[in-house]
């Protein structure tokens, strides 16, 4: 992100509206390789290709911001790899991490990972260190420390169904596991901040929060997520959950969140009522069924409709309800941006 874009974000969370409407998208490996026309293996395996792909995005869409900006990631394998998960790589598909063997009591015997040495984490850091001068030459800085949330990481290590059962049947063991993952996450966030002092924000992504009931959100999500967002004094505490959000959104501020990306299945008005006036909302066009699947004219019409339905247009970054999905064409993104300019 540029320092100017960062100031726009800081102003929004502090209640200072921008002179013009703000747009932005979460972008990473589900979208970028296909859009630029390279394989996922090349995107993950070549620092040069990774940098050039992200640079091309910025040059093609100079009037919007991309979050977190030059995201050094390896899909859903990133954090699970540090715990020893086997990562499966295919040329033109996202990688996936196999769950670890053993029950929850066995998983609780895992050694706490060391971010500087374990799994793919050192390669994430090395990629950013190697490309940082080129990133800065473009006028951008590394502004976010990024991690998957504790429930999300747990679901990859033990399986989502197994996690849901453990939440209800093995609460003590589940808390032990989340405690370990949270301690790792805090260490990982702080390590990123140590390596890149320009970092002033935290992005945490955890869709599994949306699978829980209200009592479980309060017990298994709120305290651990709040701890991670307190890893350092971050100006922007950005949370992504594009699964069901009606149960968890009332606790967003208690988690420490001040920027929230949520599911397109909930209207901005619904989320605003639950999250309160102080949280900046990032959304909320349907990503796959509209932004990716519709024609540019249809995207523009749906975007205008979305805007017209929003009763309070303050503290909003206009986007899609989730990360940028595969197969979104340049023309559709431009149609979205054009509709925002015309309507606001």
- Containing 204, the helix (H) or strand (E) segment is strand 201-205
Burial class (CB within 10 angstroms; exposed 0-12, middle 13-18, buried 19+) of 90: exposed
pLDDT tens track for 235-252: 999 999 999 999 999 999
Please give the pLDDT value at position 242.
Answer: 93
Q: How confident is the model at residue 140 (pLDDT cuts 50, 70, 90)?
A: very high
Q: How confident is the model at residue 144 (pLDDT cuts 50, 70, 90)?
A: very high
325, 31 contact by CB (below 8 A)? yes
pLDDT tens track for 176-226: 999 999 999 999 999 999 999 999 999 999 999 999 999 999 999 999 999
Q: Which two tokens stand for residue 214?
A: 């209200």
Mean pLDDT computed over every residue of the chain: 97
The predicted model gives 253-275 an average pLDDT of 97
Please give the pLDDT value at position 277.
Answer: 95
Chosen CATH of 3-343 out of 3.30.300.20, 3.30.565.10, 3.90.180.10, 3.20.20.210? 3.20.20.210
228, 147 contact by CB (below 8 A)? yes
Please give the pLDDT value at position 72.
Answer: 97
């Amino acid at each position: 992100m540029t320092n100017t874009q960062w100031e726009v974000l800081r102003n929004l969370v502090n209640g200072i509206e921008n002179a013009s409407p703000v747009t932005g998208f979460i972008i990473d490996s589900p979208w970028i390789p296909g859009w630029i026309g390279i394989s996922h293996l090349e995107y993950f395996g070549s620092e040069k290709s990774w940098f050039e792909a992200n640079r091309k995005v910025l040059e093609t869409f100079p009037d919007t911001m991309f979050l977190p900006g030059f995201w050094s990631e390896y899909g859903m394998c990133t954090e699970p790899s540090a715990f020893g998960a086997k990562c499966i790589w295919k040329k033109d598909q996202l990688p996936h991490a196999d769950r670890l063997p053993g029950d929850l009591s066995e998983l609780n015997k895992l050694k706490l990972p060391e971010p500087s040495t374990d799994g793919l984490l050192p390669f994430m850091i090395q990629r950013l260190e190697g490309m940082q001068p080129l990133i800065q030459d473009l006028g951008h800085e590394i502004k976010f420390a990024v991690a998957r949330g504790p429930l999300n990481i747990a679901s990859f290590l033990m399986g989502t169904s197994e996690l849901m059962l453990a939440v209800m049947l093995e609460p003590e063991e589940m808390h032990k596991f989340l405690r370990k993952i949270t301690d790792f996450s805090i260490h990982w966030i702080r390590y990123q901040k140590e390596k890149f002092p320009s970092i002033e924000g935290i992005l945490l992504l955890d869709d599994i929060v949306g699978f829980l009931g209200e009592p479980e959100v309060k017990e298994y999500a709120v305290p651990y997520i709040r701890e991670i967002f307190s890893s350092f004094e971050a100006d922007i505490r950005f949370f992504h959950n594009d699964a069901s959000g009606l149960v968890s959104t009332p606790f967003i501020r208690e988690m420490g969140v001040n920027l929230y990306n949520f599911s397109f299945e909930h209207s901005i008005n619904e989320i605003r009522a639950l999250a309160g006036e102080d949280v900046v909302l990032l959304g909320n066009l349907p990503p796959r069924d509209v932004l990716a699947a519709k024609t540019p004219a249809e995207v523009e019409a749906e975007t205008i409709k979305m805007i017209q339905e929003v009763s309070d247009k303050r503290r909003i970054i206009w986007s899609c309800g989730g990360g940028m999905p595969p197969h979104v064409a340049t023309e559709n993104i431009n149609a979205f941006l054009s509709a925002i300019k015309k309507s606001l």
